[in-house]
């Protein structure tokens, strides 16, 4: 039978975009160690609702690590301490009975807080809209191996395409830069023939949009790669820079 545990939480509470927020202490008793972190927050919310208090708002959807909706700073790390894990896949068994965990929203000027732990990540949507698309008609799914693409390009493109747009890269970056997200989109499409048509315009427009959204500049700390639930390499950022230089001089 699963062990039960007591966990102390310090959760960022903020009633609205312009309200002043603060960390509020909660203690959860008899938590099941097989619960996910978000399930522990569900337990907290049930208790709050029973007491007539406002539940803690947090984003989530699939709860299986593939949609990119969830995203919290857990103990100072985006998505918590486990590698290659979105916070919905973080389980309480990784904590000890009596642990205190600080839970904060992803913080960046370009990700304004809506309420509590929910931030507006639509800046990412606008970066994609600026160039992260393919305008040619690529038809239905082609037969496997019918497109002559070198395997290493396919592998790289696929690795970069695994980005779920959760924003952990921005949240963990000391500079709040969106370079890994933007780089992953640029690098993914640059590796494939379908993406070649807009290759030059894409990188310039997406980088311009990234700047316009107010993200910081990259300082190559590489923290983004360490917290990325899909383990996207900062090689994507180097590729984005090569693509930008190619757009300028190529």
Helix axes 122-131, 199-212, angle to 10 degrees: 150
Least Å distance, CB 216 to another protein, is 3
Quote the crossing angle between the two packed helices 199-212 and 179-190, to the nearest 10°: 170
In the bound state with another protein, the residue whose beta carbon lies nearer, of 36 and 179, is 179
- 222 binds another protein, rule: CB under 8 A: yes
Work out how close the CB of 64 gets to another protein at its nearest, in angstroms, rounded to a whole number: 21
The residue within the footprint of another protein, chosen from 13, 91, 230, 239 (CB under 8 A), is 239
State the burial class of residue 128 (Cβ atoms within 10 Å of its Cβ: 0-12, 13-18, 19+).
middle
Binding mask 190-219 for another protein (x = CB under 8 A): ----------xx--xx-xx-xx--xxxxxx
Min dist. Cβ of residue 6 to another protein (A) = 20
Residue 27 DSSP class? E
Q: How far is CA 129 from CA 126, 134, 209, 210, in A?
A: 5, 11, 9, 11
Smallest distance from another protein to CB 48, Å: 21
Which residue blocks in the chain are alpha helix, DSSP H? Answer: 37-50, 122-131, 151-161, 168-172, 179-190, 199-212, 223-227, 235-249
Pairing of strands 100-104, 4-13: parallel
Q: Using CB under 8 A, which of the segments 32-40, 59-67, 73-81, 91-99 binds another protein?
A: 73-81
- Per CB under 8 A, residues contacting another protein are 10, 12, 23, 73, 75-78, 81, 83, 102, 104, 107-110, 172, 174-177, 179, 200-201, 204-205, 207-208, 210-211, 214-227, 233-235, 237-242, 244-245, 247-248
């Amino acid at each position: 039978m699963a062990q039960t545990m007591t966990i102390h939480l310090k959760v960022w509470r903020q009633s609205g975009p312009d309200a002043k927020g603060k960390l509020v202490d909660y203690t959860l008793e008899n938590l099941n160690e097989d619960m996910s972190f978000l399930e522990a927050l569900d337990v907290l919310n049930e208790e709050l609702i029973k007491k007539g208090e406002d539940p803690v708002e947090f984003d989530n959807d699939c709860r299986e690590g593939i949609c990119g909706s969830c995203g919290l700073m857990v103990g100072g790390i985006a998505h918590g301490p486990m590698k290659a894990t979105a916070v919905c896949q973080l389980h309480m068994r990784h904590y000890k009975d009596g642990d205190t965990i600080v839970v904060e929203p992803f913080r960046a000027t370009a990700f304004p807080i809506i309420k509590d732990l929910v931030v507006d990540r639509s800046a990412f949507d606008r970066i994609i809209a600026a160039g992260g698309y393919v305008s040619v008609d690529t038809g239905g799914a082609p037969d496997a191996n019918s497109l002559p693409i070198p395997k290493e390009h396919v592998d790289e493109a696929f690795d970069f395409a695994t980005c779920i747009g959760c924003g952990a890269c921005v949240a963990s970056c000391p500079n709040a830069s969106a370079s890994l997200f933007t780089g992953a989109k640029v690098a993914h499409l640059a590796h494939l023939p379908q993406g070649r048509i807009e290759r030059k315009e894409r990188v310039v427009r997406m980088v311009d949009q990234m700047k316009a959204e107010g993200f910081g500049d990259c300082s190559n700390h590489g923290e983004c790669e360490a917290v990325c639930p899909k383990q996207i390499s900062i090689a994507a950022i180097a590729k984005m820079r090569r693509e930008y230089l190619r757009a300028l001089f190529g």
